[in-house]
Structure 1
C-alpha cells in the first residue's frame, strides 16, 4: 500500500543545448549518408570523402573507411551548424528559415569553401544532376535542423510562459 502512495519520478528532460547537439549530430550523420547514397546511385558527382582530400594522405580515404570517417566528420561539423542556427535563428518560426539556412550553407560550401576541395569542380562546371541533388540535400538538411530547433524552442518557451503564470 505504501508504494502506491509514492509519487512517480520521471527522468529529467534533456537540456535545450543537448537537444541541439543531438539534432546536429543525427542530422549530419543521416543527411551525409543520404549524400553518399546519392553519389552511389549517380545522382551527384560529389562524395562525402571529398572532406578528407585536403587533410589526409593515402588512398584509404577513397575506400569504405574514408567514407565512414567522412560521414562521422560531417556529423561533427553539423553540430557546429546546428549551434549556429540555435544562436542566430531559433526564434524564427516556419520552415522557410530552415530552407534559407540550407541554401546559405550550400552557397558557403560551393562558393566560399570550394577551393579547399581540389577534386570538386567549380559550380559552373558541375553537371545539372549534381547541382540539383546537392541543393536539395542542403535544403532538406536546413529544414531538418531549423524545424527541429525551432519546434523545441517554441515548446520550451510555451512551457516557460505556462509556469510563469
Structure 2
C-alpha cells in the first residue's frame, strides 16, 4: 500500500447533505407509494390554505412540501449528529424515527386530533408510512454514524 493521505470530511456539511438526501428519498418513496395506491397523497401533506386556490391543485404545494420535508430532515440529521453520533449502527435512527412515527400519528393524529388519525387510514397506508420512517431513520442514522471518512487507520 502506498502512503496516500485521504482527505477528511467535515461532519456538519456531510450531515446537511445526508439530511437533504434523506428528505429527498423520503419524498420520492412517498410519491412512489402514492403512485402504487398504498397511501393517499394527502396523508402527510397538509393543505396549504395560504396559497391561492388556483395554485393549490398544481405542483406548487408539492414543491413546498418537498422543501419542508428536506429542511426537517436536515434539522433531524443535525440533532442526530449532536446527540447519537457515537453509535456505529443504524438502530438508534430506526428507533428514533419509529418513536417519531408514533408521536405524529398516535399523539398528534389520534389523541390531540391535530393531524391524520391512524384509525382513518387503511392498514397498508399505516405500514407504508411506518416503513418510510424506518427507511429514513436507517439511512440518516447509519450515514451519520459511519466513521470511516473521519478516521485514519494505522497499519
TM-score w.r.t. length of structure 1: 0.75
Query: Based on CA coordinates, which of the two structures has the bigger radius of gyration?
Result: 1
Pairwise CA RMSD:
2.7
Flag the structure with higher helix content.
Answer: 1
TM-score w.r.t. length of structure 2: 0.80
Q: Number of residue pairs matched?
A: 147
Asked if residue 26 in structure 1 is aligned to residue 21 in structure 2, the reply is yes
Q: How does 1:122-161 map to 2 (within 5 A)?
A: 122-152=117-147, 155-156=149-150, 158-159=151-152
Q: How does 1:9-158 map to 2 (within 5 A)?
A: 13-47=8-42, 50-51=45-46, 53=47, 56-59=50-53, 60-114=55-109, 115-117=113-115, 120=116, 122-152=117-147, 155-156=149-150, 158=151
Distance 1:147 1:68 in 2: 27
Q: Verify the 8 A CA contact 1:49 1:66 in the aligned structure 2.
A: no
Distance 1:126 1:104 in 2: 19
Distance 1:50 1:22 in 2: 23
The one-character-per-residue Cα deviations of 1:4-54 (angstroms, maximum 9, x if unpaired) are: xxxxx98x6441111111100111012112112211221112447724x26
Unaligned 5+ runs, structure 2 = none
Unaligned 5+ runs, structure 1 = 1-8
